[in-house]
Structure 1
Amino acid sequence: MSKKLHIVSLGCTKNLVDTEVMLGRLKDFEMTDESGEADVIIVNTCGFIDAAKQESLNTIFNLDAGRKSESVLVMAGCLSERYKEELSRELKEVDIFTGVGDYDKIDELLAAKQSRFTPEVYLIDGAERVVTGSSYHAYVKLSEGCNQVCSFCAIPSFKGKLHSRDLESIAREVESLVTKGFYDFSFVSQDSSSYLRDQNISDGLIHLIKRVELIEGVKSARILYLYPSTTTLKLIKTIGDSSVFHNYFDMPIQHINDDMLRIMKRGFGKAKTLELLNAMKALPNAFIRTSFIVGHPQESDAMFEEMAEFAESFGFDRLNVFGYSDEEGTSAHEMEDKIPSKIINARAKKLGKIATKIEVESLAQLVGTEISLVIDGESDEHEFLLSARTLNWAPDVDGEIYVNDREIEEELTFGKIYRARITELSGTRPLATITGNA
């Protein structure tokens, strides 16, 4: 009788890839959604900001409270790595601790019931993954670590400097995934536009795009998390010229005020940001997502209002809003003129309303148009609605489209691309009619 495994992946999509590597090493286990019946419980934690750290700890405590005797609780990932000494000493609920370097050794750690923190980040190189959540889309990790020195970010302190994967390693992984039926890919890292700069190659993403375009069976791709100081006009043009990569730009600019960008140690200013954003916006069917941080130390009312006005007027398609999190080990943590939480929350609320407004405006432009979309499955909203997305959107974060009608007689297939007409907007959900095969 096989042992049962319950696994929880928190945080970013890079964490998800690492979780899928662990699943690949534990294929002999039977997966269960019921943590109380699991023999092994693994939580791949996030340690980026306070809210993520608290979610990780709460998950550990809740799973421990409901687990059966003799089960093994494993804490892996960024939070475990960042606070390994403190957590290993104080968190008695956990049986095995491991960080960000041993995902492909999880089976060995379980067999030995041993904690381990390898002093290097883990990069996939031939490891077999069990891709979750989709039959056609997969995330592909480009690198780990980061060479940026942003004032608010603690990631380099526990993941180290940029460490890029070999280009052919990535190509082999994509080729392998294609043979398993995957055709849509999101390439991710902390700073994707710096890919291969640690190997003295300045145009690493351009090389990646050209290499992926050679792989037969890749129909759709996008790059997540560009960084303004390492994104070039040449890269934007290469994406625009690609027959495989969408004109999809996820570039978290964090602010627009020049003084605030300097305080944040972002390495660029407003003029460079606008140059890049306008070049992206000029491309056909461009989709632009960004993120802003409100309440960073020394952010004045005027600085915030400049950011809010820009966010509302530029024409972003999606916008993430983060309240500043005061993280130890960062230069911002040592700064004076901290912003009270009450003001941070008020600014986040105002910018959040703008984020909703611009999303609705972006979605409204789809009404009456015909697009290509892929059906993911049944909708959670209603049994007669199907959940879909256009391939120009990233999975999970950019929303979903509800398919409520069709003009073709054949049964619709999950994971297949169709042509569809957007008929109306219901809140932040476009309604679509399938009009034919893509």
Structure 2
Amino acid sequence: MDKKNLYISTIGCQMNVHDSEQMAALMEKEGYVCTDDVGQADLILLNTCSIREKAAQKVMSTLGRYRRLKTKKASLIIGVGGCVAQQLGERLLLKVPDLDLVFGTHNIHRLPEFISEIEKTGKKIVETSLSEKTPSLGILTPPRKSKVTAFVTIMQGCNNFCAYCVVPYLRGREESRPLEDILEEIAGLARSGVKEVTLLGQNVNSYGRSTKGATGFVELLSEIEKIEGIKRIRFTTSHPKDISDSLIEAFSQLGKLCKHIHLPVQSGSDRILSLMNRRYTKNDYLEKVEKLRRSCPEISISSDVIVGFPGETDGDFQETIDMMEEIRFDTLFSFKYSERQGTAALKMEGKVSEPLKKERLRILQSLQELHTLEKNKAMEGHIEQVLVEGFSKNCRSDVMGRTSTNKIVNFTGHGDLVGTIVPVRIKEAYLHSLRGEML
């Protein structure tokens, strides 16, 4: 089998990253070898995100660069997958005529079939059908050499229909993988040297709910806890309305469950939360945070916030700021509201101007930087257990790893430490990382 070069570019969340890993695994079986040099590629795959306009714009600009490569290599195949592909379908071919393949979120498993057909006939292919069952959920991705962490998809889709979000329309309704399949995959990862798994889903709290009599999310965590070789378990993402008392208690009861949760709040205003169709109030969220910190005092909490949602007043924005001051998140992912076709928010009145959205985002992010640095500074002098993931990007004499609370730590060390959990005293704290000394 002739070896061909595959270049994959990923835009979006951790689920998109894992989808790209699945694409690579499928195409490697067909004789393709992954390359970091797009100029050497025989096949380019762009895996896309459509949750915000900025991400969708990046897709078009990236494709513009790839089109120029095709003038130099006529045999080059360019394909687009993910949410932008799902959303635009045939229209994407009209926008970018040099594209060969557009495949949606439920059709990753058919990628080898599509590429083979294009290689034989030169025919352009568009496939964006959504199915009740998603075969790609079961595609196994062997870990890369020396990799000690891995993503594992436990479910796909969403039933929540938040007013700003296109995910339910592009990923379909909630579908959970069978418990046995997940455990088998993780056991295999453990045998290959993986020490930490991150469970992925649009709303992991809903795992198993769509299947009568199925195992729930906490039970899944308890079963993974038993797998020999796995040292740490993480998950993302959680919907606040669905986080249960049993999951909150799991942070103090399961020894392998990391002391970190990503819990998107989106706004501190009850009026805006209602318009967003989030189905919880600010007080509901605050109660969940209080329970989490009571169950696990050292837990770190990260969140998402959208500023400038239609109808957001200065008072609504101030409520978000006040909530941030009260909770003091460890980290925060914040964004300007972005109109997305097909969502309920598109028809709402009270649009916020771009300059005002930009200013609110600046204020919010400046405040969060203070909170993040405050949280990190509080760790100076403490001894943390760090899972070493590899060498530091900035210094080859340093290794880097993460604490259970998801803080990045750099310290002097050697390659033999990769995959081990070591005690590190935190010497200096910065905004995005910590500097430590191994004991």
Task: Name the TM-score class by shorter chain.
Answer: over 0.9
1:287/1:263 CA distance change after superposition, 3 Å: same
Within 1, Cα distance between the matches of 2:325 and 2:272?
18
1:432 paired residue number: 436
Q: Map of 1:184-333 to 2, 5 A cutoff?
A: 184-200=196-212, 204-282=216-294, 283-333=296-346
> Secondary structure at the residue paired with 1:375?
strand
2:83 paired residue number: 78
Tell me by how many angstroms 1:249 deviates: 1.2
User: Normalised by the size of structure 1, how large is the TM-score?
Assistant: 0.92
Q: Which runs of 5+ in 1 are unaligned?
A: none
The yes-or-no answer on 1:38 pairing with 2:41 is yes
1:57/1:411 CA distance change after superposition, 3 Å: closer
Match of 1:93 among 98, 102, 117: 98
The yes-or-no answer on 1:49 pairing with 2:52 is yes
2:12 paired residue number: 11
The yes-or-no answer on 1:160 pairing with 2:172 is yes
Q: CA RMSD of the aligned region, Å?
A: 2.0
Within 2, Cα distance between the matches of 1:181 and 1:155?
33
1:190/1:416 CA distance change after superposition, 3 Å: same
Taking only the aligned residue pairs, the percentage that are identical comes to 25
1:133/1:10 CA distance change after superposition, 3 Å: farther
CA deviation vs aligned residue, 1:206-239 (integer Å, no higher than 9, x gap):
1211221221221100121110111112221123
* Matching residue's letter, 1:116: E
Within 2, Cα distance between the matches of 1:343 and 1:434?
46
> Secondary structure at the residue paired with 1:261?
helix
Tell me by how many angstroms 1:416 deviates: 2.4
1:63/1:415 CA distance change after superposition, 3 Å: farther
Q: Is the 8 A contact 1:19 1:103 kept in 2?
A: no
Within 1, Cα distance between the matches of 2:140 and 2:208?
23
1:5/1:203 CA distance change after superposition, 3 Å: closer
Tell me by how many angstroms 1:124 deviates: 4.3
* Matching residue's letter, 2:417: T
Q: Is the 8 A contact 1:41 1:74 kept in 2?
A: yes
Q: Is the 8 A contact 1:401 1:430 kept in 2?
A: yes
Q: Is the 8 A contact 1:422 1:433 kept in 2?
A: yes
The yes-or-no answer on 1:117 pairing with 2:128 is yes
Q: Using the TM superposition, name which of 102-111 and 377-386 deviates more.
A: 377-386
* Matching residue's letter, 1:377: G
User: Normalised by the size of structure 2, how large is the TM-score?
Assistant: 0.92
Q: Using the TM superposition, name which of 29-38 and 123-132 deviates more.
A: 123-132
Tell me by how many angstroms 1:359 deviates: 0.9
Within 2, Cα distance between the matches of 1:256 and 1:17?
31
Within 2, Cα distance between the matches of 1:64 and 1:416?
44
1:2 paired residue number: 3
Tell me by how many angstroms 1:175 deviates: 1.2
Tell me by how many angstroms 1:122 deviates: 3.3
The yes-or-no answer on 1:66 pairing with 2:87 is no
* Matching residue's letter, 2:47: N
Q: Is the 8 A contact 1:20 1:131 kept in 2?
A: no
1:429/1:247 CA distance change after superposition, 3 Å: closer
Q: Map of 1:108-147 to 2, 5 A cutoff?
A: 108-113=113-118, 114-120=125-131, 122-124=134-136, 126-131=138-143, 135-147=147-159
* Matching residue's letter, 2:109: D
1:362 paired residue number: 375
* Matching residue's letter, 1:299: E
Within 2, Cα distance between the matches of 1:360 and 1:335?
37
Q: Which runs of 4+ in 1 moved over 6 A?
A: none
Q: Using the TM superposition, name which of 115-124 and 254-263 deviates more.
A: 115-124
Tell me by how many angstroms 1:342 deviates: 0.7
Match of 1:420 among 387, 404, 424: 424
